[in-house]
Structure 1
Amino acid sequence: MIDKFIDYISYEKKYSSHTIEAYKKDIDSFLGFSIVEFDQAVISESSYGEIRSWIVSLVSSGLSNRTVNRKISSLNSFYKFLQRIEEIKINPLAGHKALKVAKRIQVPFSEKEIVSVIEGIDGEDFASVRDKLLVELLYSTGMRREELINLNHSSININNATIKVLGKRNKERIIPLLQSVKKTLQKYLLLKEIEFGCNGYLMVSNKGNKLYGTLVYRVIKLYFSKESTKVKKSPHVIRHSFATHLLNEGADLNSVKELLGHSSLASTQIYTHTSLDYLKEVYNQAHPRSEK
């Protein structure tokens, strides 16, 4: 049943490889617990009481409530699938309430920090130009890490200065390319053609292979550690910065939603909180009656 579920989220739901791996790991975690604690190897027959014991063990192990909720969500999706194919009648997690989590505040990079990073990558070798393009693409398009990794040459339309991004659930969106990014892209393509040819994936490693998640993180951390003291430095923080900076400059929420590839405004609205904080800061600094 687990294999059938993995096939379902792979081929029908078209989840990313990273998400599929996480789902399988979470479900296997409960399966292992169920076998050891209850001698139960058929988790379609597990009770909520048994699942509750697993949840308690996860919390006791020191995992955050957010991580535990994610694991429960994976298991819940599995049970919903079993209901869908009529393997079970009742989902044992149907009445479960998620654990309370503290609101996570994402602190975006400032415009100054991002400009400093981009301007600071001034090498002319392949790796330097690739790294500069990587940062520019993430910041100028707001694309996700996986979306960047999976770009290929057909994703780029140099003449129209646009880039086609394949997002979650294979949903495509077209994003304009800034002229500055277009220049870096053209320089990169020239160097890539000399080194490895221009076929296959757009962004490649120093050996010409497809980029991988750890390398993208490493590039971001390398350059932003020189310019920023923020604790978290990741591709997602750049995506967060992209949305926040657009909203700060007056972009409407619907436009930002389309650029980010969100399916609903609810997902985009989290960025308005940061923008409001920024507006409060500007207001308090500028208003004559404020206590500066």
Structure 2
Amino acid sequence: MSVIDQFIDSRQLDRGSADKTIEAYKRDLIQFSQSLKNETRLEDIDLNDLNAFISRLYGQKQKASSIARKVSTLRQFFKFCCLEKGLKKNPAEKLQGPHQTKRLPKFLDHKAVTELLKASDIGWPYEKGNREALQARDRAMVYLLYATGIRVSELVGLSTHNLDLQLEYIRVKGKGDKERIVPYASVAGDKLRAYLELRMQLNPATDHLFVNRNGLAITRQGFWKILKVLAERAGIPSNVSPHFLRHSFATHLLQSGMNLRSVQMLLGHSDLSTTQIYAHVTPEHLKIAHRKFHPRG
């Protein structure tokens, strides 16, 4: 087994990294190994080899985010080699990545969300034949996405067993197969019940909660297409993505006074710093909270 394969195994077994992350690790490391001279030994790799690789990426006009990911992969790989494979010197210790400006998340204001929910209540103009069931499904998906802030991959990955209609929560499997419990509002529960009453009309061939007209699990792309049409009908930007609703969920909770730690748990962020970016999109509400609670505000 190669050192790269051993590293990949360690990420899967020890860290529980998601499949897409594992694929990216492997792709990045293979690309780097192909940039080296034949028969280059691990212990012969130095900072110059790494910088030459990164320079080629810049020359190929790759995105800063992609380069930053590759730098992170190399740092993790060589740290693993030092800890587990006896490599005496870490060549990636001083490897510099591109400076990235954190982009503020795009979200919908309360009025836009209300219009989107209204559009889902009216529904996509499906042709006759299971129209009611498909519209009920779309309605339940939009309401549940905004009510929980889950990722679209988590939404389409839900099974009927992940749903507790009585206690009104869903069990979500997020990144790295980490599970969390996310509650939802009663209005979303009503939409889910209405959909479940009609779900069998779609002849589901899977236990996925949301299925398409063929009875198979609806895809992320399929839901994105639905959301785009509903957004257009609501009179809001048609570039709305499912992630807009996740960002809207988090932003609106912070605006309402929920603390960052609680929002972090609901979103399934492993690091609070990931959640903190939402604080930057609600400065006025932070000012109001400061004036309200600070003794000399």
TM interval, short-chain normalised: 0.7 to 0.9
Cα distance change on mapping 1:279 and 1:193 into 2, 3 Å: same
Q: 2:286, 2:179 → 1: CA distance?
A: 33
In the superposition, the TM-score normalised over structure 1's length comes to 0.83
Q: 1:131, 1:29 → 2: CA distance?
A: 41
Q: Name the counterpart of 1:10.
A: 12
Aligned residues: 277
Out of 29, 32, 35, which is 2:31 matched to?
29
Residue 181 (structure 1) aligned with residue 188 (structure 2): yes
Whether the aligned pair in 2 keeps the contact of 1:31 and 1:43 (CA below 8 Å) is no
Q: 1:214, 1:45 → 2: CA distance?
A: 45
Out of 146, 149, 172, which is 1:142 matched to?
149
After superposition, where does 1:1-292 map in structure 2 within 5 Å? 1-34=3-36, 38-39=37-38, 45-86=44-85, 88-121=87-120, 122-123=122-123, 124-197=131-204, 200-226=207-233, 227-229=235-237, 233-276=240-283
The one-letter amino acid paired with 1:254 is R
Cα distance change on mapping 1:13 and 1:205 into 2, 3 Å: farther
Q: 1:103, 1:130 → 2: CA distance?
A: 35
The one-letter amino acid paired with 1:93 is A
Cα distance change on mapping 1:40 and 1:150 into 2, 3 Å: farther
Cα distance change on mapping 1:113 and 1:197 into 2, 3 Å: same
Q: CA deviation at 1:278?
A: 6.4
In the superposition, the TM-score normalised over structure 2's length comes to 0.82
Identity of aligned residues (%): 31
Q: CA deviation at 1:74?
A: 2.0
Ranges in structure 1 where 5+ consecutive residues have no aligned partner: 282-292
The one-letter amino acid paired with 1:148 is L
The one-letter amino acid paired with 2:230 is Y
Whether the aligned pair in 2 keeps the contact of 1:173 and 1:261 (CA below 8 Å) is yes
Per the alignment, in what secondary structure is the counterpart of residue 203 of structure 1?
coil
Per the alignment, in what secondary structure is the counterpart of residue 138 of structure 2?
helix
Per the alignment, in what secondary structure is the counterpart of residue 269 of structure 1?
helix
Cα distance change on mapping 1:250 and 1:91 into 2, 3 Å: same
Q: 1:239, 1:162 → 2: CA distance?
A: 17
RMSD of the TM alignment (CA)? 2.6
Q: Deviations over 1:15-46 (max 9, x none)?
A: 22222222222222222333xxx335666753
Q: Name the counterpart of 2:292.
A: none
The one-letter amino acid paired with 1:134 is M
Q: CA deviation at 1:162?
A: 1.3
Cα distance change on mapping 1:125 and 1:83 into 2, 3 Å: farther
